[in-house]
Amino acid sequence: MTPDRADMGILAGLRIVELSAFVAAPLGGATLAGLGADVIRVDPPGGGIDIDRWPLHRGRSLYWAGLNQGKRSVTIDMRSEAGQRQVAGLITAPGEGGGIVLTNLPVRGWNSYEALARLRRDLIMVVITGDRAGGTAVDYTVNAAVGFPWLTGPEGYEGPVNHVLPAWDGMTGYLAALAILAADRHRRLHGEGQLVELSLSDVALAVAGHLGLIGEAILDPEPRGRFGNDVYGTFGRDFATRDGRRLMTLALTARQWSSLGAATGLTAEFAAVESRVGADFRKEADRWIHRKALCEILESWAAEHDLAEIREMFEKSGVLWGAYQTPKQLVAEDPRASIANPMFAEVDHMGIGAFLTAGSPLRFGAAQPVPPRPAPVLGEHTDEVLREFGL
Amino acid sequence: MTPDRADMGILAGLRIVELSAFVAAPLGGATLAGLGADVIRVDPPGGGIDIDRWPLHRGRSLYWAGLNQGKRSVTIDMRSEAGQRQVAGLITAPGEGGGIVLTNLPVRGWNSYEALARLRRDLIMVVITGDRAGGTAVDYTVNAAVGFPWLTGPEGYEGPVNHVLPAWDGMTGYLAALAILAADRHRRLHGEGQLVELSLSDVALAVAGHLGLIGEAILDPEPRGRFGNDVYGTFGRDFATRDGRRLMTLALTARQWSSLGAATGLTAEFAAVESRVGADFRKEADRWIHRKALCEILESWAAEHDLAEIREMFEKSGVLWGAYQTPKQLVAEDPRASIANPMFAEVDHMGIGAFLTAGSPLRFGAAQPVPPRPAPVLGEHTDEVLREFGL
User: A-contacting residues of B 31-60, CB under 8 Å?
Assistant: 31, 35, 49, 52-55, 57
The partner residue sitting opposite A164, judged by closest CB among B152, B192, B323, is B152
Q: What's phi and psi for A362, nearest 5 deg?
A: -90, 130
For residue B31, the chain A residue with the least C-alpha distance is: A175
Separation between Cα atoms, residue A335 and residue A319, nearest integer Å: 19
Exposure on the CB side of residue B316, measured as CA atoms within 13 A:
10
- Judged on CB neighbours under 10 Å (0-12, 13-18, 19+), B189 is exposed
Q: Do B327 and A146 touch (CB under 8 A)?
A: yes
pLDDT of residue A1: 40
Residues of A in contact with B13 (CB under 8 A): 189
Closest residue of chain A to B12, computed from CA coordinates: A186
CB A145 within 8 A of CB B323: yes
Beta-strand (E) ranges in B105-207?
124-129, 194-199
Contact A102, A18 (CB under 8 A): yes
Does the beta-carbon distance from B140 to A236 stay under 8 Å? Answer: yes
- Mean pLDDT for back-to-back runs of 10 residues, chain B (391 residues): 59 98 98 98 97 96 98 98 98 97 96 98 98 93 98 95 98 98 97 98 98 98 95 97 98 97 98 98 97 98 98 96 98 97 97 97 96 98 98 94
In chain B, residues 166-205 whose CB comes closer than 8 Å to chain A: 166-167, 170-171, 174-175, 177-179, 181-186, 188-190, 192-199, 201-203, 205
CB–CB contact B183 A288 (8 Å) = no
User: What pLDDT does residue A7 have?
Assistant: 58
Counting one residue from A and one from B, how many pairs have CB atoms under 8 Å apart?
Answer: 512
DSSP A336: G
Per DSSP (E only), the strands in B14-123 are 15-19, 38-43, 56-57, 60-61, 72-75, 100-103
pLDDT at B7: 58
Which 3 state secondary structure label does DSSP give B42? strand
Please indicate whether, in this complex, the C-beta atoms of A364 and B181 are within 8 angstroms of each other. Answer: no
Which CA distances in Å does B178 have to A21, A231, B27, B126, B182?
A: 22, 28, 12, 10, 6
User: Which of B96, B186, B122 has its CA nearest to residue A13?
Assistant: B186
Which run of H or E residues covers position A302? helix A291-303
Q: Is A348 among the catalytic positions?
A: no
3-state secondary structure of A103: strand
Q: How far apart are CA B391 and CA B376, in angstroms?
A: 21
Q: How many CA atoms lie within 13 A of A391 on its CB side?
A: 22
**Which residues pair with residue B346 across a beta bridge?**
B356
Chain B contact present for A157, CB below 8 A: yes
Give the minimum alpha-carbon distance from B209 to chain A in angstroms, rounded to a whole number. Answer: 6
Question: What integer pLDDT is reported at residue A135 of this predicted model?
Answer: 86
Count CA atoms within 13 Å of residue B85 on its CB side.
5
Residue B12 CA to residue B35 CA, distance in Å, equals 8
Q: Does A282 touch chain B (CB under 8 A)?
A: no
A161, B71, B323, B327, B335 from B330: Cα distances, Å: 17, 27, 10, 5, 8
Report the 10 Å Cβ neighbour count for B273: 16
What ipTM is given for this predicted complex? 0.97
For chain A, 391 residues long, the average pLDDT of each consecutive 10-residue run is 59 98 98 98 97 96 98 98 98 97 96 98 98 93 98 95 97 98 97 98 98 98 95 97 98 97 98 98 97 98 98 96 98 97 97 97 96 98 98 94
Query: How far is the alpha carbon of A104 from chain B, nearest alpha carbon, in Å?
Result: 14
Rounded Cα distance between A205 and B331, Å, is 10
Q: Using CA atoms, how far apart are residues B157 and B195, in angstroms rounded to an integer?
A: 44
Q: What is the pLDDT of residue A8?
A: 82
